[in-house]
Amino acid sequence: MTEDSPTTLDAALRARRERVNEAIDEQLPVQRPERLYEASRYLLEAGGKRLRPTILLLTAEAVTGTAPMDADYRSFPDVDGTPVDVLSAAVSIEVIQSFTLIHDDIMDDDDLRRGVPAVHREYDLETAILAGDTLYSKAFEYMLQTGAPAERSVRALDELATTCTHICEGQAFDVDFETRGDVAVDEYLEMVELKTAVLYAAAASIPAVLLGADDETVDSLRRYGRSVGQAFQIQDDLLDLTTPSDELGKTRGSDLVENKQTLITLHAREHGVDVDSLVPTDDVEAVEESTIEAAVAELETAGSIDYAREAAVDLVEQGKAELQVLESGHARSLLEDIADYLVERTY
């Protein structure tokens, strides 16, 4: 990342986040039954960096060589100049993300998300399940509303559907790993690919599909998304340990409490740390800040924190290399910067 890019990237992220937020308001209004739609919008309104839809918009710009923010994303010129509503595709990806958060919070019995109560706490279990289910089908509706030629829409829908299946499989592995002490690094990386990275892969590849890019471009962008998505999850695992709860929007160290397997704990276990004893409680509410701090210190001494950091940086470099398939330009630079940001962010 160049010296002056933080400002550039910040501005680029903010501008696109605002467009995505406006689009969510347009496409997901509160309608009857109101409580269902309020619950469906609740997490989306609570914040979020909109990283995935921003990557989708940047990819659309980079694929078509459109000057950033120069085009109407609702009527975005494809490779032949025919308009495609890439903003609806961006909303679709963010809405899938929101659905998975709502259901994951139920499964993990997490109380907080983005600094506010999880949906099943703010509303109730029934409403949270149903809000997630509603967002799920809405995401497919939005992906069908891009106006792209039918052949491309079918490919985009197929990518979205298989992505959702993979997210479920990844979450199932994640839950399964909580009761296993013998998870290998490859298994962890597969789990992270399925649970987290495939949605980044979809965000990067679907605009290329919708806009008529060639297969080589689509495949490279999918690999870019997958690599930076894995890096994002590893960084998330790191932040869970190193960021204060109030900045994190949820309890610091909750992964350790819930016995989540991360690249950090896998490395620590291999290097003789008694990971299961680091945090004796299973209750996120009951854990002391000092317990987490002592645990993090032990993981740092074992080199596990640095190991995970380096793995994330390697993945980001792999992802950025895939961007060579694109013409150089401002949008491609921003896709490189956003990849760096994913592992440099502090919350």
HSE-up of residue 320 (Cα within 13 Å, Cβ side)? 19
CB of 129 to a copy of itself, least distance (A): 6
**How would DSSP label each residue in 68-123?**
TT-S-GGGEE-TTS-EE-HHHHHHHHHHHHHHHHHHHHHHHT--EETTEE-HHHHS
Task: Assess contact for 37 and 119: CB atoms under 8 A.
Answer: no
Please, which residue, 144 or 241, has the CB nearer to a copy of itself?
144
Task: Assess contact for 331 and 57: CB atoms under 8 A.
Answer: no
CB of 212 to a copy of itself, least distance (A): 14
Question: Among residues 33, 65, 115, 280, which is the contact residue for a copy of itself, using CB under 8 A?
Answer: 33
- Specify the amino acid at residue 52: R
Please, which residue, 1 or 175, has the CB nearer to a copy of itself?
175
Q: Is 164 in the site for a copy of itself (CB under 8 A)?
A: yes
Q: Residues 222, 91, 239, CA angle at the centre, nearest 5°?
A: 65
CB of 222 to a copy of itself, least distance (A): 17
Torsion angle (degrees, nearest 10) of CA 103, 109, 114, 118: 70
CB of 128 to a copy of itself, least distance (A): 10
Question: Among residues 1, 69, 116, 129, which is the contact residue for a copy of itself, using CB under 8 A?
Answer: 129
Q: Is 144 in the site for a copy of itself (CB under 8 A)?
A: yes
CB of 258 to a copy of itself, least distance (A): 12
- Specify the amino acid at residue 190: E
Question: Among residues 15, 36, 71, 321, which is the contact residue for a copy of itself, using CB under 8 A?
Answer: 36
Span 82-121, contacts to a copy of itself by CB under 8 A: 103, 106-107
Q: Is 161 in the site for a copy of itself (CB under 8 A)?
A: yes
User: Given its phi and psi angles, is residue 109 left (phi above 0), alpha (psi -120 to 50 degrees) or beta?
Assistant: left
What is the rounded CA–CA span in Å between residue 135 and residue 183?
33
Binding site for a copy of itself (CB under 8 A): 32-33, 35-36, 103, 106-107, 125-127, 129-130, 132-134, 136-138, 140-141, 144, 149-151, 153-154, 157-158, 160-165, 168-169, 171-173, 175-176
